[in-house]
Amino acid sequence: MIHSWDLDESEALRIQKHLASKVIKKDQLDAVRYVAGVDVAYDEKSGQLVAAAVVLDAGSLDVAETAIAEDVARFPYIPGLFSFREIPPLAKALKTLTIAPDLIVCDGQGIAHPRRFGIASHLGVLFDVPTIGCAKTRLTGEAGQPGIQRGSHAPLTDHGEVIGNVLRTQNNVKPIYVSIGHRISLSTACDWILKLSPHYRLPETTRKSDQTVRRALKNRLSF
């Protein structure tokens, strides 16, 4: 289920609306042996997008394999069309893996999206693999306020429709937005994020103390 990536905004919208109907919003996953986490960074000096994929053994959570790939950015960042910018390098990295992940955690929304087709859903439908949308900030919808304790959650709704969960993965730390990507239910998705969250640094990387320390170090070292 592949399509061109050399397109304009209106073509992207058309493809997005078409593919949104293919998203499966219930559990349809085999026994998860390997879980992958993927993310993309942008280097504005070279105009290159760098994608990374890390595969974990789902039992031990040990790293089983990693992959990295670069690609020129050929689509601008447009809220709502994010996947058309980041999926090309991501697909490149995923194709070099020798292990096929049974579940992929994405840095961005799944169906918590204006047309219910964020990057996690797009990646899931393209590769026909279960995916979870895991975003640091809200794109659309009305966010409930979860309790302060890890595991607390509140619904993310759009005109009464539940499109995701606002989930607290660490005590006293900003919650994240979890939504269905593809072939998984919201509750199963949240279970996986809670299982994985002690092992990743998604909310922590945005903590002010962390930023302040990095800034201070950088300023001292450059002089």
Partner DNA sequence: GCGACAG
Partner DNA sequence: ATCTTGTCGC
The span from the CA of 178 to the CA of 62, in Å, is 23
Q: Select from 4, 6, 10, 79 the one that contacts DNA (CB under 7 A).
A: 79
CA proximity to 86, closest of 126, 31, 129: 126
Annotated binding residues for Mg(2+), as ranges? 39, 107
What token pair was written down for 55? Answer: 């595969």
Decide whether 79 or 160 has the Cβ nearer to DNA.
79
**Other beta carbons less than 10 A from residue 43's beta carbon:** 11
Q: Select from 31, 44, 62, 199 the one that contacts DNA (CB under 7 A).
A: 44
Decide whether 33 or 200 has the Cβ nearer to DNA.
200
The span from the CA of 63 to the CA of 34, in Å, is 10
Q: What letter represents residue 206's amino acid?
A: T
208 binds DNA (CB under 7 A): yes
41 binds DNA (CB under 7 A): yes
The span from the CA of 178 to the CA of 160, in Å, is 17
Decide whether 47 or 100 has the Cβ nearer to DNA.
47
113 binds DNA (CB under 7 A): yes
- List residues near DNA by CB under 7 A: 39-44, 77, 79-83, 107-109, 113, 118-120, 133, 135-140, 208-209, 211-212, 215, 218
